[in-house]
Copies of this chain bind each other. A is one copy, B any other.
Amino acid sequence: MKKNKKISMKDISKELGISITTISFIINNKAENKISKEVIKKVKDYIEKVGYKPNSSAQSLRTGKSKTIVFMAEDISDPFFSAIAKEMETIAFNNGYKIIYCSTENKKERALELLNLFKDRQVDAFIITPPEGFEDELKNLIYGENQVVMVFDRHFDGFKHNYVVLENYNGAREATKSLYDSGKRNIAFIGIKSVLSPLSNRLEGYRDSIKKYNLKEYSLLILFDNIKTEKGRDDIKFFLEKHPEIDGILFATNNLAISGLRVIKNKGLLIPEDLGIISFDDRDVFELFTPPISVIAQPVQELAEQLIKGTLKLLKTKPFKEDAFYQKALKGKLIIRKSQ
């Protein structure tokens, strides 16, 4: 029962009296009009029979390709990113790729550390949600080191790169409009202090929308590190107390909304009577909340598909042509529930 030794091409070669080269050609489908049908069948049958699988380390060493993609997420334990990860997983596996995940925690240093770890590890491509201030590293990775990199969830203006993102600006406009349509006239935006595109675009969308309706802007931007902490909740609390006239809130992320909802609940404010609420990103807590919270849901399935398929496509056409960037912005879906 104990299989001690893995079978290799050499073994097959010896057993069948066929050269290793021939076997390699057959395995890699390069046998077309080189090798006779009979030999191909013989080898394929034998391979099937003994369950031979090529040694991937040897393949990697020889070809320089590892069939590995790194997904550097902001936080892989965040439901949004882990849902994306799971969808990608399957497609990647089906294409012979494996994915390695890691979390940057939105820290530049952490991201750099991880990047260095992987740069030397024969990785074929990076799918990455870069933290703030990572432009130079990213630029170098793409243009200096010539790596395949797909940027996710955010994008930069200074240089061309592949990306898959949400239509954040439009999403924020739609969300603001829906609060307005529910009769809210003092609509606040609670976001994160950051220049990253999803955050800044959402703020922009909110602002333009507010302006259009001639409303006053109320915006609170809290620090990324404080989102889930007491400090962040206090920020929100003080903000609401300072502007008691606020009657609607657009939260820029799900975690922000969760902190916000805790504050609102503690203060005994009524949703939607006192405050209309809408948040970016859907999570089951929003549906189960009393009352259920409206959201701009990200199309997780579609995002994941675009991400991984785009990356695989880039991998196939590498070295890439200047004009062949993969850039997608997908629409969010407004789901109106009872919170406005």
Binding site for B on A (CB under 8 A): 1-3, 53-58, 60-61, 66, 75-77, 79, 82-83, 85-86, 89, 93, 98-103, 114, 117, 119-122, 140, 143-146, 258, 261-262, 265, 283-285, 287-290
Contact = CB atoms under 8 A, between A and B. Distances in A.
A50 to B, nearest CB: 12
A116 to B, nearest CB: 8
Contact of A57 (B60, B117, B140, B261): B60
Given A57-B66, A284-B285, A93 B102 contact: yes
Contacts of A85: 76-77, 82, 101
A1 B146 CA distance: 10
Contacts of A89: 76, 101-103
Contacts of A143: 1
Given A101-B101, A285-B285, 19 more contacts: A1-B143, A2-B146, A3-B144, A3-B145, A53-B119, A56-B120, A56-B122, A57-B57, A57-B122, A82-B82, A82-B85, A85-B101, A98-B100, A98-B121, A100-B100, A258-B288, A261-B288, A265-B290, A284-B285
Nearest to A262: B288
A77 B83 contact: yes
Contacts of A54: 120
A262 B288 CA distance: 7
Most buried by B among A57, A93, A121: A57
Contacts of A261: 288
Nearest to A100: B98
A146 B117 CA distance: 30
A99 B103 CA distance: 12
9 contacts: A1-B140, A57-B57, A57-B60, A57-B122, A77-B83, A89-B101, A99-B101, A283-B285, A290-B290
Contacts of A117: 93
A63 to B, nearest CB: 9
A76 B86 contact: yes
Contact of A144 (B1, B119, B144): B1
A99 B146 CA distance: 25
Contacts of A287: 262
A101 to B, nearest CB: 6
B79 A77 contact: yes
A194 B144 CA distance: 54
B93 A86 contact: no
Given A61-B61, A144-B1, A288-B258, A121 B77 contact: no
Nearest to A300: B77
A20 to B, nearest CB: 16
By Cβ-Cβ distance, the 5 closest A-B pairs, closest first, are A53-B120, A57-B60, A285-B285, A82-B82, A77-B86
A155 B120 CA distance: 38
A61 B55 contact: yes
Contacts of A57: 57-58, 60-61, 66, 122
Nearest to A61: B57
Contacts of A99: 100-101
